[in-house]
Chains A and B, each alone.
Chain A
């Protein structure tokens, strides 16, 4: 690696690499790391990348992402690569994968959707209709959801 290291290596935790440039903050929001966290998160933005031109990188200390969190990540950063770090060593690599459905990840943005009614107990569900270009619709009402709306409506 010829490039100078911009933030220090972490001892334990997760490194999310190849986030599209400018989207690191949304990833933090999507993973709900913007509230109630006491462990450090390092953020690097707009660094050159052979793979995607420019990229953002996140280093999250003392936390290993689970599959459900990876599913959330897939929405914003389908190209991201994830490394789990244990005792300074990469102990596992993971790829994000966009599955056919988002289950209880974001609520529907459409004001007249049945899921907007008070106290209705069924889960929020979104269908991935198309991956490229990304098209997501509410499973119940069928309304298209933009990425911005989904991030805004994270549960």
Chain B
């Protein structure tokens, strides 16, 4: 109960409800309103892989709601002595009320959820899923477009290893969006995911160029080509820097097109885009806080008040 491993763990109604709750929690996320809903609760931040935004926004979300955070990293702990994930999670089961886990191995979040009693939030498992990122992405899209249904979304970059786009594409097609999947051939979306996306009945276009797609898009979601996921440097250098969005690409686009990125970026979005009205990636990073607040409340069975003052 309360686990969030993939987007399949949330019904469409739950997604909408969590986005509504996150919206109400924005003043708390900004520190303007005090609301200690999670006082006395402990979150274990189990990061077996590097993270900046996800780990910190989970920590801020928990603290802004009056909870405590245990921070774990696999360096210098029993994991480096060869402890299994199963054993590490048994310990956490006794120390915390909820855990957010990031792990380099795919399936590690489901494995953890099956190992312990406390609710598990998947904060990224290898090239698998990243559902809390998807929730904040949906929150960002709804903020800009007033809806998450029937949009046209371009996903660009590393679609093979990029876990954010795996979870996000599933969610978007559930709400009827058409997707343009833009990547070099070596970094295409995994075939099982494309199968699922096509089964949704939504239009799915796979291509190598994004520029001619911009004119009809509501959202362009850029991703970093992730050097750390490549088996060797040669393969990486073949595709590094292949996509670059600049402000001059944004001259003939929809008025309310938004540019998103899960960050960190390298060179796929030029800094000239930052000051345009289309950029949303820094707002998106902040949105991790209210969204993860709502997700922590869901996992811990705490309801968010209808009015937050």
CB A34 to nearest CB in B, in angstroms, measures 29
* Cα–Cα, bound, A121→B83 (Å): 12
* Cα–Cα, bound, A116→B6 (Å): 20
Instruction: Name the prevailing secondary structure of the B interface residues.
Output: mixed
When the two chains form their complex, are residues B86 and A122 in contact, meaning their CB atoms are under 8 A apart?
yes
Also in contact, A114 and B85, with CB within 8 A (given A141-B126, A143-B106): yes
When the two chains form their complex, are residues B191 and A144 in contact, meaning their CB atoms are under 8 A apart?
yes
Chain A residues in 8 Å Cβ range of B192: 135, 137, 142-144
* Cα–Cα, bound, A115→B84 (Å): 11
When the two chains form their complex, are residues B105 and A117 in contact, meaning their CB atoms are under 8 A apart?
yes
When the two chains form their complex, are residues B84 and A141 in contact, meaning their CB atoms are under 8 A apart?
no
Chain B residue with minimal CB distance to A117?
Answer: B105
Is A120 engaged at the interface, CB distance under 8 Å to the other chain? Answer: yes
When the two chains form their complex, are residues B115 and A110 in contact, meaning their CB atoms are under 8 A apart?
no
When the two chains form their complex, are residues B126 and A122 in contact, meaning their CB atoms are under 8 A apart?
no
Chain A residues in 8 Å Cβ range of B126: 112, 141
When the two chains form their complex, are residues B110 and A113 in contact, meaning their CB atoms are under 8 A apart?
no
From the candidates B6, B103, B195, name the one contacting A114 in the complex (CB within 8 A).
B103
From the candidates A108, A120, A139, A142, name the one contacting B128 in the complex (CB within 8 A).
A142
* Cα–Cα, bound, A79→B127 (Å): 36
Query: A-facing mask of B92-110, CB < 8 A → 1, else 0?
Result: 0000000000011111101
Also in contact, A120 and B107, with CB within 8 A (given A142-B192, A144-B191, A144-B192): no
Name which of A112, A113, A117 has the most chain B CB atoms within 10 A of its CB. Answer: A112
Give the contacts of B61-88 with A (CB-CB under 8 A): 82, 84-86
Chain A residues in 8 Å Cβ range of B103: 114
Name which of B106, B108, B115, B192 has the most chain A CB atoms within 10 A of its CB. Answer: B106
* Cα–Cα, bound, A64→B157 (Å): 54
Is A138 engaged at the interface, CB distance under 8 Å to the other chain? Answer: yes
CB A100 to nearest CB in B, in angstroms, measures 15
Chain A residues in 8 Å Cβ range of B104: 112
From the candidates B106, B114, B115, B191, name the one contacting A113 in the complex (CB within 8 A).
B106
Is A37 engaged at the interface, CB distance under 8 Å to the other chain? Answer: no
Chain B residues in 8 Å Cβ range of A139: 107, 110
Is B282 engaged at the interface, CB distance under 8 Å to the other chain? Answer: no
When the two chains form their complex, are residues B85 and A142 in contact, meaning their CB atoms are under 8 A apart?
no
Is A51 engaged at the interface, CB distance under 8 Å to the other chain? Answer: no
When the two chains form their complex, are residues A114 and B114 in contact, meaning their CB atoms are under 8 A apart?
no
Chain A residues in 8 Å Cβ range of B190: 143
Give the contacts of A141-155 with B (CB-CB under 8 A): 141-144
Also in contact, A121 and B107, with CB within 8 A (given A112-B127, A142-B192, A144-B191): no
Give the contacts of B162-209 with A (CB-CB under 8 A): 190-192, 195
Chain B residues in 8 Å Cβ range of A138: 107
Chain B residue with minimal CB distance to A145?
Answer: B192
When the two chains form their complex, are residues A110 and B86 in contact, meaning their CB atoms are under 8 A apart?
no
When the two chains form their complex, are residues A115 and B111 in contact, meaning their CB atoms are under 8 A apart?
yes
* Cα–Cα, bound, A139→B8 (Å): 13
Chain A residue with minimal CB distance to B192?
Answer: A144
A-B pairs with beta carbons under 8 Å apart, 10 shown? A108-B107, A114-B105, A114-B125, A117-B105, A119-B84, A122-B86, A135-B192, A142-B6, A143-B106, A144-B191
Closest 6 A/B residue pairs (Cβ): A140-B107, A141-B107, A141-B106, A114-B105, A114-B107, A114-B108
For the complex with contacts A113-B106, A117-B84, A121-B84, 20 further pairs of A-B residues with Cβ separation under 8 Å are A112-B105, A112-B127, A114-B107, A114-B111, A117-B85, A118-B82, A119-B84, A122-B86, A122-B111, A137-B192, A140-B108, A141-B106, A141-B107, A141-B125, A141-B126, A142-B129, A142-B192, A143-B106, A143-B190, A144-B192
